Structure 1
Amino acid sequence: MGAEVALRPLGIQFFYPKNLPALVTMVYLEDGDIRESFFRRLDPTEPSQSSVGKWSQHVGGFLASFNIGKALPVRMTVCWDSVIDKKAYETEIWFSRDTWQQMLTAYPDTYRPGKIYYRNKMIIGLPPGGKVRVWLKDNRNPVVLQNPARQFTLTGDDMLICKNVPNKIDFSYIKANGYDPFIRDFIKEKPYPYGHW
């Protein structure tokens, strides 16, 4: 990728649908500078309050203090726990050239005439069922869904990088006592996975 690799810092934020909690436990990121980074101190995984039944066009606000990449992302592995599914997941994402091109393109800012902006903020959605979505934030416009070159999600003994990453959710507690009341009320009489993700 040569000189194109140098770009503005990449902010990454993780969201889950309203009342369907998930937590990211670790992120592995390989970038175009052949740099490998492990993120263990992470920004909180946030609820997308406007995502009920399907992902919102805006997903959520954006503030990344620790989830920061320094070059174009090539491959990312996300280790995460799903409260709803009562299990841990490992999702691997290989980013496409189309995503890189979007991140390198300067777009005219219609909200600030004469200014430009870049799509250098990445949003990753973690729903029940493990069907992860990736978007780029597009200023104040709806987020732009990305189509990774390759993406898959593993769980249980099939996990590789995430197999030995400690869970942040006590799954034994969930199995013994059920979901918290606000989750039980929210999913009552709704079919799993509680939306089209």
Structure 2
Amino acid sequence: PGVSMLGKPQREWLIRSMQESDADFFFVVSTVPFMIPHSGAGGFEFDEENKEEAWTGFFHERELLIDAWQKLDKKVFVMTGDLHNSFAIKVTDDIWEFCCGPHNSVNHVPKLDESDRPATGKWQFGPRECDIRWSSYVLPDLPRLERLYPHFCVVQINNVFNMPQKLGGKRWVAYPHPQVVFQYYDGRTGELAYAEAISLDRD
């Protein structure tokens, strides 16, 4: 109570700027996770009282943002990091979280370090349920130094396509419903692990 991640002036500026924007999509970048708690330290000792510095320690402010974003009637993508896993989460029909963990650190064990969340499926920590569509996930029986499964995400925005009158030329044509494609790749092999495509709503 009485604490804020953004502070009232910055939060109000963010919401107002988004309300006044004509953008089709919004990308909100946060250094800390939005829906999954950072409740452990990957096997190290830690100060539990000071551990929760993410949005899962600021439920009231997080819900204020979600409520404001829902009223935009546009897609909002919260791009996060910090947790030593990667995941794609549907928060609401219009709000998503996409997280990428670090490439040079061992993975967290979700059962121990992320409040025992599932690899996929409906899950709730705090006042709001979410849908984990995909995540990297390490089982507790792996030795610490064997937990090296990084992933990275490539974001592709498809708002136009090329349809030249002469083959090999260029003529960009706007999509009626632009799409954003989030593609997660295995950081060790480069293989595609998961993709999620989200487009403007059909009227």
Q: TM-score range by the shorter chain?
A: under 0.3
TM-score in terms of structure 2 length? 0.27
Greater relative contact order (Cα < 8 A, sep 6+) = 1
